[in-house]
């Protein structure tokens, strides 16, 4: 049937013919399709006038549209529409949306924040972002630190104290750890003895005689290590001197060194050269007090609190 039908209906072609008989069907598209195309051309022209578009001499057509935002100095600016200004405007809005939460963190005592699951959730998510943007460069993403470079914030050892206020203080004003080089005052044998003593405090099986000699040296006026590290070698948080009796090492990679001589060498190196690199910058000029407070709670939680 369809055969017979087709014969009675001739098919429209575009009228072109190639190779004598090769032709092209014409299936006209509806008129509104054409109009839709014209309308989109008009829309493109409208767009051109509304938004920045064409380069003209040294400038460009800026369009009709304007955008108003507050810049980082707190000055309200109005400029022709552009994506940069739009970004600033949207940033303003996002900051305004977060403000009530930051205000709440600022107004709530530290312990109270940790007890409030919903506020604490905000601290975790906002803190993670702040930490990534500001702290992760040294302390690594996640706060794991880097041996010999920046302390691990996820363990329970705090050079300057792990209470909220200590952490807040550390972030606000920064810290500068310092240990003098002992290569000038002590002989290599003495330094070995000291290293053995320090290792013995962490239960590394070193030569006990050497360690005993080191103990004496540690508490003597010659080396005077106890000034800073304390008579019990547990460190003093006011100075930020390390606790030498625990299993945590920051400057000497003792856990990473395979053999005892290597562990010894790592510690000796620190004693010999001293340290002048434990510098944590002050963040008070870069972060707002609310941000610092929030970070303090976040970091406190990283290390499981103290």
Question: Which residues participate in the annotated binding site for heme c?
Answer: 135, 138-139, 179, 225, 228-229, 280
Output 125 or 220, the one with its CB closest to another protein: 125
Continuous segment of H or E residues that includes residue 271: helix 260-273
**In the complex, minimum distance from the CB of residue 111 to another protein, in angstroms, rounded to a whole number:** 7
- Residue 72 sits in the site that holds another protein (CB under 8 A): no
CA proximity to 158, closest of 177, 141, 172:
177
Q: In the Cβ-directed half-sphere of 35, how many Cα atoms lie within 13 Å?
A: 3
- Residue 129 sits in the site that holds another protein (CB under 8 A): no
Measured distance CA(65)–CA(62) in Å, rounded: 8
The token duo for 88 is: 């600033």
Measured distance CA(144)–CA(128) in Å, rounded: 13
- Please pick, from the candidates 50, 68, 141, 173, the single residue that binds another protein as defined by CB under 8 A: 141
**In the complex, minimum distance from the CB of residue 77 to another protein, in angstroms, rounded to a whole number:** 24
Q: Which residues contact 89 (CB under 8 A, 6 or more apart)?
A: 67, 68, 69
Range 153-212, binding another protein (CB under 8 A): 154-157
CA proximity to 301, closest of 52, 174, 116, 177:
116
CB 290 within 8 A of CB 103: yes
**In the complex, minimum distance from the CB of residue 192 to another protein, in angstroms, rounded to a whole number:** 25
Output 114 or 183, the one with its CB closest to another protein: 114
Q: Please report, as ranges, the residues that interact with another protein according to CB under 8 A.
A: 1-2, 5-7, 10-15, 17, 23, 25-26, 28-34, 111, 114-115, 117-118, 120-121, 124-125, 140-144, 152, 154-157, 243, 246-248, 255, 301, 304-305
């Amino acid at each position: 049937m369809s055969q017979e039908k087709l014969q009675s209906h001739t098919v429209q072609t575009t009228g072109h013919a190639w190779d004598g008989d090769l032709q092209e069907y014409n299936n006209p598209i509806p008129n509104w399709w054409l109009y839709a195309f014209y309308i989109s051309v008009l829309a493109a022209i409208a767009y051109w006038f509304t938004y920045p578009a064409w380069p003209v001499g040294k400038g460009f057509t800026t369009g009709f549209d304007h955008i108003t935002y507050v810049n980082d100095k707190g000055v309200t600016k109005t400029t022709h529409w552009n994506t940069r200004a739009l970004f600033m405007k949207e940033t303003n809005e996002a900051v305004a949306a977060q403000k009530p939460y930051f205000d709440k963190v600022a107004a709530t005592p530290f312990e109270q924040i940790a007890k409030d699951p919903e506020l604490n959730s905000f601290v975790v998510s906002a803190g993670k972002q702040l930490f990534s943007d500001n702290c992760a460069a040294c302390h690594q993403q996640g706060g794991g630190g880097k041996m010999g470079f920046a302390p691990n914030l996820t363990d329970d050892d705090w050079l300057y104290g792990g209470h909220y206020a200590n952490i807040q203080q550390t972030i606000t004003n920064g810290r500068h750890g310092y240990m003098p080089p002992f290569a000038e005052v002590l002989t290599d044998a003495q330094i070995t003895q000291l290293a053995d003593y320090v290792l013995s405090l962490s239960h590394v099986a070193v030569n006990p005689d050497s360690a005993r000699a080191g103990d004496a040296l540690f508490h003597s006026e010659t080396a005077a290590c106890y000034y800073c590290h304390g008579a019990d070698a547990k460190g003093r948080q006011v100075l930020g001197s390390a606790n030498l009796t625990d299993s945590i090492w920051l400057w000497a990679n003792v856990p990473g060194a395979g053999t005892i001589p290597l562990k010894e060498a790592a510690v000796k190196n620190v004693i010999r050269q001293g340290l002048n690199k434990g510098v944590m910058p002050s963040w008070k000029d870069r972060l707002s007090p609310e941000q610092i407070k929030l970070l303090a709670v976040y970091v406190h939680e990283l290390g499981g609190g103290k």
